[in-house]
Each structure stands twice: as structure tokens, then as C-alpha cells.
Structure 1
């Protein structure tokens, strides 16, 4: 009887340890998978906690994850950019990014584009839902983007 109580106690302890480990582990963000990134286009909403600057014309910063290869491209607001990305689970790295070199019409656009490209290259992980993409540098959200209409997946 004592052996069976001791064995039962060890099983309970082991079960409790697994339950605690599961609670302590960071929850995977909904949709933190390559399938949600591949073939999608996103539009910048916030950059480093500030609303994105509205630019003349269709100059809103965008981010496109290619469907068939680990490449990103987009519009920084004034210039087109592209580069490679690597993704494993929630970990995400982009860069180096290359861009065209046109000047924006207004200085706020130039500052935002520079900060946007830096934020993309500083990204270390992401979380995604069907409609929203958050890019993190460490624990800090550096960009919040919304899925463009007509984007796949």
C-alpha cells in the first residue's frame, strides 16, 4: 500500500510539474507560422508606438512576404525595398534590405521611411492573426501592420 501511495505521489508531482511548465511557457501567438506570412501583404498602422504618417498618393508603407521563397518586399512610403527573411516558429529576421533612393516629398515621410526600414531589420520575432501582424525587436513592438485586402491566406 505504501509503495502504491508513493508511486501515486510521484505521478501527481510529475503531472503538476508538466502543468506548471505548460503555464510558464510563453503562449505561441495565434498564427505565428510561415503559412500565415507567405503570400501576404501588410500595411503599416503604427511604428514604434506612433501612428503611421499619412503620405500623399498611395505612399503607405507596405510589407509583402513572397509566397514561394523567403523574400520580403514593399514600399517604405517613398521607395521600394526588398530583401530576404528567415523564419522559425515565432522568430523572424529580415535583411539586409535594399531600397531605391528617391527622396520623399515631405520630411516626415523621409523620417518615417528610415525608421520603418530600421524597424524591419531590427525584427527578432512576430505574432500574427488573420488581420494583424506585430513585429518585435526583443520584447518591444516596433511595428503594427494590418493585412491588405485581397492578400492571400
Structure 2
């Protein structure tokens, strides 16, 4: 009896445990785990490269934390273009060289720069310069009249140089030269600045020519040359790179005396309907003694003229006989037109010569 009770208890105890997990049915389809989707960050990370370096400061603000050079050619209304060289210094100064192509005109401007977000303003009290916008820290584009960047047209953009470059400060100049006790001074007709002339190898021939001409005799005489001002403690010194010629009897162009023809160095601007390349420096002066002389692009010339009221007669010219492939054709047309003129008028700042009431030559005062 006891054995039967014990067996019955063991059976009841076995029935009280949960059944073990049955093996999975191999016919049941398994649902694959869904992949975790990670959202991409909004900013694209660029590998360390030249592109990354140029984009590194391409944020809302641009920082001029090193001396920079930007250069390029921007459009010009009445010339092939304006070549720009802009140096931005990290201490807040700037220097600009503007060269008007085919006009023999170079402007050197200094001042301070102001940076407002991406807008760059070059501030000078005497001259107005265009404002720019930083497309990146390696590219500038001009602002239009409404202050918006002209980003769609690459003709209005300047590129940053790989290395900082010093400014070329040479420029054509016209001014009063005077020599006394082997010390020369040059007073610019354009700016009025009086500079001491350095006694370099390019200056010595100028001194000899001045001393050998009895007309000068210690007096100031108009001269044309290519030169540059010194830097820092030599800022009041002129270094001559190329001397062109003296213009005895000439004076600086005077805005107070309109209508004056004599005593001014006139630069040829137009030959009939053709513009004269300004780099040829075609110039003429009519002096008070019925003499004229000048430079026709290759050769010097001189001659006599007569003027009664507006009527003009130019006698046959005497000229040197050099040949210059780039200018001889134009030079011949210029001298022929000059000798055929029968009327002269000064209108505003223009000297106009006519033949049979047709405009054949137009000049403007030379300031360099």
C-alpha cells in the first residue's frame, strides 16, 4: 500500500512541472531583422585636401589673418580692361595698383580696408575704389551699384595668389624737374608731391642732359619719365627707371585756364575715328614761339606752326628716322594728319584738330 502511494506522489510531482520548450518548426518563415537607419549629418565632411583648406574659412565671416595678394583684370568702359593688384595686410592696411590697359595710366592707392561679414571696402580719402565680396578666402568678386556681389560673371572676379607679392610701384610721370648742386627734385603735375631724385645710374644721363642745355640754367622744366617712389624712410625719394624727354616751354596742365593750347603737353587720344594706343605715348606741344615738337610713337619730330584765331597751319615736320614695327604705320598717319590740319579748337579738356571741318586728331592733356 505504501509503495502504491509513493508511486502516485511521484507521478503527481512530475505533472506539476512545465513542459520543456519544443523545437522550432522548420516550416515556419523567419522575419529578418530590420536594419537601423542612421540619418546623415547636414554638413558634409571633406577630406583634408586643397579643397578642404580653401573651404575651411568659407563661413559667414572671412578673416584676414595673413597678408594676402589678389590679382586679375576687370572690365573697363573705354579700354580693354583694368589690371588689379591688391595687397591686403593683416594690420588693416591695403595697397592697390590699377593699370588701365592701352591707356598708359597707372594708379597707386593706399588706405585701410574694412570687412563687414564678406564685404570688403577699400577706404581712401582721395580716390574711390570698387567694393568686393569674398566668394571664398581665395576669390573676390565686385559688388554692383546696389551692393550685391556679381558672382555669375567671372570677368568681375580676382584670384588670390599662392604667395604674397610686393606691389610694382613704377608708373609713368609728368612733372617739373630741377637740378641744383647735383641734387635734383621732381614735382608731380598730377599729385603736386615734390620728391628728391636718387642719384642712380638711370638718373646720371638726365643730369648731364639738363646741365648741357643752356635754356634750363637752374630752372624747373617739364619732364616725362617712368619712376617709382621709395618705401618707408625713402617715401619722399624718386627712383628713375626710364627717362623719356624734357619739354622746355611746357607747364603743368592748368584746370583754371580752359581753352589754352600753348605750353601744354598733349597726348594723342584719337586719330580720325581710331583710338591711339596710349602706351605709344604719342605727344605734341605747341610753344609760345610758333614752334612745335613731340614724339610720334617711334620718332621725335619738330617744326613750325602758325595760328590765327582758330585757323592753324603746320609746316613740314623734321623727324628722326628710326623704324618701329609696332608703331611706324600709325606714326606716318599721325604726322600726315598733323601737317594737314587747318583748324584747332580747345573744347573742355580736349584739343581737336580739323581738316575741311572734319575731325582728324583729338588730344588730351598728358598728366604722365
Q: What is the CA–CA distance in structure 2 between the aligned matches of 1:53 and 1:129, rounded to whole Å? A: 22
Offset, 1:110: 0.8
Question: In structure 2, what is the equivalent of residue 8 of structure 1?
Answer: none
Corresponding position: 1:117 with 2:338: no
Query: Aligned to 2:349, which of 111, 131, 148?
Result: 131
Q: What is the CA–CA distance in structure 2 between the aligned matches of 1:105 and 1:111, rounded to whole Å? A: 8
Gaps spanning 5+ residues in structure 1: where? Answer: 1-29
Question: In structure 1, what is the equivalent of residue 359 of structure 2?
Answer: 141
Corresponding position: 1:49 with 2:273: yes
Contact 1:130 1:147 (C-alpha < 8 Å) held by counterparts: no
Once the two structures are superposed, residues 106-145 of structure 1 have per-residue CA deviations (whole angstroms, 9 ceiling, x without a partner) of: 2xx1111000000000000011035110000111111110
Contact 1:47 1:116 (C-alpha < 8 Å) held by counterparts: yes
Corresponding position: 1:75 with 2:299: no
Question: In structure 1, what is the equivalent of residue 287 of structure 2?
Answer: 66
Contact 1:73 1:82 (C-alpha < 8 Å) held by counterparts: yes
Across the aligned residues of Structure 1 and Structure 2, the Cα RMSD in angstroms comes to 1.6
How many residue pairs end up in the alignment? Answer: 111
Contact 2:261 2:351 (C-alpha < 8 Å) held by counterparts: no
Query: Aligned to 2:320, which of 77, 92, 100?
Result: 100
Question: In structure 2, what is the equivalent of residue 87 of structure 1?
Answer: 307
Question: In structure 2, what is the equivalent of residue 21 of structure 1?
Answer: none
Larger Rg: 2
Larger proportion of helix:
1
Q: What is the CA–CA distance in structure 2 between the aligned matches of 1:149 and 1:54, rounded to whole Å? A: 12
Structure of greater relative contact order (alpha carbons < 8 Å, 6+ residues apart): 1
Contact 1:81 1:97 (C-alpha < 8 Å) held by counterparts: yes
Once the two structures are superposed, residues 23-54 of structure 1 have per-residue CA deviations (whole angstroms, 9 ceiling, x without a partner) of: xxxxxxx83xxxx2221110001001111134
| Superposition TM-score, scaled by structure 2 size | 0.29
Gaps spanning 5+ residues in structure 2: where? Answer: 1-257
Contact 2:269 2:278 (C-alpha < 8 Å) held by counterparts: no
